[in-house]
Structure 1
Amino acid sequence: MHTAPAPLVDRFGRVHTDLRVSLTDRCNLRCTYCMPAEGLNWLPKAEVLTDDEIVRLAQIAVRRLGIASVRLTGGEPLLRRGLPGLVARLTELGVDLSLTTNGIGLARMAGELKAAGLRRVNVSLDTLRPERYQAITRRDRIADVFAGLAAARDAGLAPVKVNAVPVRGVNDDEIVELVEFAAGHGYLMRFIESMPLDAQGAWDRSAMITADELLGILGARWELEPLRREPTRGGTPPAEEFRIAGTDTVVGVIASVTRPFCGTCDRVRLTADGQLRNCLFATEESDLRALLRGGADDSAIEQAWRNTIARKGPGHEINSADFVQPERPMSAIGG
């Protein structure tokens, strides 16, 4: 008889059911809010987890720790060689499997990823204007992103979520336009507050468009009806969602800074080089790769995982004078 695993719980009673797995720290864009134009060294290939290592850790997470959903991130996960094969192996674990991408390469891979078992995708897109996209990403690839979004929708990777980070003086004049674009193409638009996770440490709180400002802009254009946050297999979603009155259009707002949802956080993160992080803003990590390659059995790895979660703090402290930005940038942590 199969018994359910003991929950992965921290000292505040939060149960962790959502695993974010970074497949690579590499990216084919150089977004200004994420990376410097040059000079960020990638992880050596030998330090990156293999497919077998990722699958083994995911098996331990699902069978021994109660993880129910897995999101594949990067860097840019579509750069991972053999990705559909890895997706198929993870799908066999019975998890709710999704992926966050910049959309470049998605037009080519969407159908294959869907066939392998991927459920849905989140695509990062901060502007609809080609010249502005090139200024933000330092690459001229917006046509590829539009094609990738359409391919994901047509392949049935639904709902296709479009993630944008509104920044003052950069793209905050496109907020309404982005919602109209998403609604017109059958995508779900989500806005995320800018967070201090850039490699160059140049985050500026005053440039962040807050959730209140964002809702003010949207509310001036449409009547917004707040929706109840419905728990999923992976726990409570971070987005506050609003329906535009009289339509089926839903907009999500993730207020990581001004309305932190740390009190209900159910996420744990695995970096591309096998380091376990109990918070996006953690300043310490647990080296699961060393355990794997040192011959540790599943029980030892499970215990290391539980110990890491047991040390999780109450919140990220971005709004505290004690806040310390993690040494790893977002591209190396995984979204």
Structure 2
Amino acid sequence: MLIDAFDRKIDYIRLSVTDRCDFRCVYCMSEDMTFMPRAQVLTLEELTEIGTAFVELGVSKIRVTGGEPLVRKGVTQVFKQLGKLPLKELTLTTNGSQLPKYAAELKAAGVKRINISLDTLNPAKFRELTRTGELQQVLDGIKAAQDVGFERIKLNAVILKNRNAVEVPELVQFVLDNHLDISFIEEMPLGSIVEHSRALEFCSSADLRDIIGPKFKLEPLQAQTAGPSRYWQVPGYHSRIGFISPHSENFCASCNRVRVSAEGKLLLCLGNEHAADLKAILRAHPGDRERLKATIVQAITIKPERHHFDLNSEPQIVRFMSSTGG
């Protein structure tokens, strides 16, 4: 029996294994980022226990995220344990830097798909956006994932009007040439930043399709996934070109997912603060999975119907994506 939230079913969780990264992304551009003490972060065993509880409640898809999940020491044990569960899909969101080291082990553990964050193909701009990242590391990671044969590899690109919007056609050409998918994501107001004005930098999914249109003919796909991306295709190619539109094309009505942060907060909506503390239950009642499942079921009853983002006001959500889980 799947967990009920209004008239929808929760079938997908994003499980964040760490709030730490080896380099930053568009969502974490503030100089004021701080990371949680280790004691506040879920242990590998607690992460596996939460995943197991959700699967016993009927969830069939788990995505492991961060921060950058592959910088967590011993994290492959989480994948190996989750891979033993009766899941339809075990996936990973990563910046790609560690994939040359871990791709084969992840594939063997049961990971089916990989999402790789990549906002630019310009090495200098990549270094500027990430502070310390090297584009070639990510490109090597993509190649490593292709070499071991994951079912699908998708890039995620957050697009800002005056930062990287001009590169969108190049990103499309890259995924077509390399048999990848891509999702272009409207920036969400998570955390306080000083590097740019979100209102001035906002680039809608419709704007992006207008940028792509002169070079590539886009045709909407009739069959869509259960996720927030709405997919299009370029005739003659198998690559899917997706658009995630939390501002301009709100997708809350079809939301079938929740997140668990690295500190064990069950986050019921990316754009709201509604949450339940699963870590507190795990540590106060170790081994009591039924109590944990009851807490999850009760929390789902307060899942908000939708979020309300305002680009012209202070951010409603003060946590960064590194602590939320991508």
Q: What is the TM-score with the length of structure 2 in the denominator?
A: 0.94
2:37 to 38, 44, 48: 44
Q: 2:18–2:41: 8 Å Cα contact kept in structure 1?
A: yes
CA-based RMSD: 1.9
Q: 1:192–1:253: 8 Å Cα contact kept in structure 2?
A: yes
Q: 1:30–1:36: 8 Å Cα contact kept in structure 2?
A: no
Q: Which residue of 1 aligns with 2:3?
A: 8
SS at match of 2:152: coil
Q: Which residue of 1 aligns with 2:208?
A: 214
CA distance in 2 between counterparts of 1:196 and 1:264 reads 21
Residue 324 (structure 1) shift: 5.9
Deviations 1:289-319 (A, max 9, x none): 1111111622221221112110111101115
Q: Which residue of 1 aligns with 2:289?
A: 298
Q: Is the aligned partner of 1:288 residue 2:278?
A: yes
1:176 to 169, 180, 183: 169
CA distance in 1 between counterparts of 2:37 and 2:21 reads 14
1:70-149 mapped onto 2 (5 Å cutoff): 70-95=62-87, 96-149=89-142
Amino acid at match of 2:300: I
Residue 32 (structure 1) shift: 4.8
CA distance in 2 between counterparts of 1:26 and 1:321 reads 29
Q: Which residue of 1 aligns with 2:12?
A: 18
Amino acid at match of 1:299: E
| More displaced stretch, 147-156 vs 316-325 | 316-325
SS at match of 1:20: strand
Q: 1:72–1:98: 8 Å Cα contact kept in structure 2?
A: yes
1:216-295 mapped onto 2 (5 Å cutoff): 216-231=210-225, 236-295=226-285
Return 5+ residue gaps in structure 1 as ranges.
1-5
CA distance in 2 between counterparts of 1:143 and 1:321 reads 36
CA distance in 2 between counterparts of 1:329 and 1:51 reads 22
CA distance in 1 between counterparts of 2:12 and 2:133 reads 34
Q: Which residue of 1 aligns with 2:302?
A: 311
CA distance in 2 between counterparts of 1:325 and 1:98 reads 29
Residue 229 (structure 1) shift: 3.4
How many correspondences in the alignment?
323
Q: Which residue of 1 aligns with 2:158?
A: 165
Residue 82 (structure 1) shift: 1.4
Q: Which residue of 1 aligns with 2:320?
A: 329
Residue 322 (structure 1) shift: 9.7
Deviations 1:236-264 (A, max 9, x none): 12111111123333211111211011001
| More displaced stretch, 292-301 vs 263-272 | 292-301
Residue 205 (structure 1) shift: 2.5
CA distance in 2 between counterparts of 1:102 and 1:198 reads 20
2:60 to 62, 68, 71: 68
Q: 2:227–2:255: 8 Å Cα contact kept in structure 1?
A: no
Amino acid at match of 1:210: S
CA distance in 2 between counterparts of 1:287 and 1:108 reads 33
Pair 1:250–1:321, CA change in 2 (3 A): closer
Deviations 1:143-193 (A, max 9, x none): 100000010111112311011111011011111100111111121122111
Deviations 1:74-110 (A, max 9, x none): 0000111112221110011122100001111111111
Q: 1:317–1:323: 8 Å Cα contact kept in structure 2?
A: no
CA distance in 1 between counterparts of 2:314 and 2:37 reads 30
Residue 323 (structure 1) shift: 9.0
